[in-house]
Structure 1
Amino acid sequence: MASDPVSTFTILYFAAASTYTNKSSELLPAPLPLRSLFSTLESRYPNITAKVLKSCAVTINLEYVDIDFDSDGNRASDGASKYKDGVVIQVGDEVGIIPPVSSG
């Protein structure tokens, strides 16, 4: 059964994240607490946290979100961003997963 676009957000995968998921984008159910994003992705793509997400930047609607790992090793909002720990990814939002890039 396909997701209803009315109750989803778009997640965009770049570089290594796209390679790992074998997708450039997908729709995920919304609303979703930001603090649950990586556990949700981990359940869909086992080991993605250790192999890709741990070093990624995240954007919501083209704005970077400051996130860190908590004492349990889970990715969580660091509270320093305008996106506090209680932020919820809303229906229609666009989330980007952006691995580090190098230039030469």
Structure 2
Amino acid sequence: MNKNSMYYLNHIASALMVVMISAKVPAGHFKILYFASAASYTSKDYDVLPAPLPIAELFRTLEERYAGMESKVLGSCLVTVNLVYVDMPENADESEFVIKDGDEVAIIPPVSSG
């Protein structure tokens, strides 16, 4: 990994910590953090969504809120739940993982190694 990539990842980690600390989540909800292209597309740094939500339904839920987001942004992003990367299943039957009340989800766009 080159210096630019490391800087970018450190910047995301710092921003993630600031958003995690600053935004309160109401009971029965989880926080979803947006970075780079995801933040630009939504015009937000974060959203608060109702929990529980199966991970397999996350992209569909975001697509309903932000038309076109799945193909333009989410298809190339990674997802973390509570700072742990998770695999996004192809359909709802492939995963039993559920985002729970109080969880923090992050949508992380690709890191350029230019």
Q: Which of the five TM-score ranges fits, normalised by the shorter chain?
A: 0.7 to 0.9
Q: TM-score scaled by structure 2?
A: 0.73
State the match for 1:47 in structure 2. 68
CA RMSD between the two structures:
1.8
Deviation for aligned residue 1:91: 0.3
Gaps of at least 5 residues in structure 2 are 1-24
Identity in percent: 58
State the match for 2:48 in structure 1. 27
State the match for 1:99 in structure 2. 109
Question: Paired residue for 1:61, among 54, 75, 82?
Answer: 82
Runs of 4+ in 1 over 6 A off after TM superposition: none
Question: Paired residue for 1:87, among 79, 93, 97?
Answer: 97
Q: TM-score scaled by structure 1?
A: 0.80
> Structure 1 counterpart of 2:112, which letter?
S
> Structure 1 counterpart of 2:33, which letter?
L
Alignment coverage as a number of residue pairs: 90
* Greater per-residue strand proportion: 1
* Greater per-residue helix proportion: 2
For 1:6 and 1:93, the matched residues in 2 are separated by: 11
Gaps of at least 5 residues in structure 1 are 80-84
Deviations 1:16-45 (A, max 9, x none): 000000000110000101010000000000
Give 1 or 2 for the bigger CA radius of gyration: 2
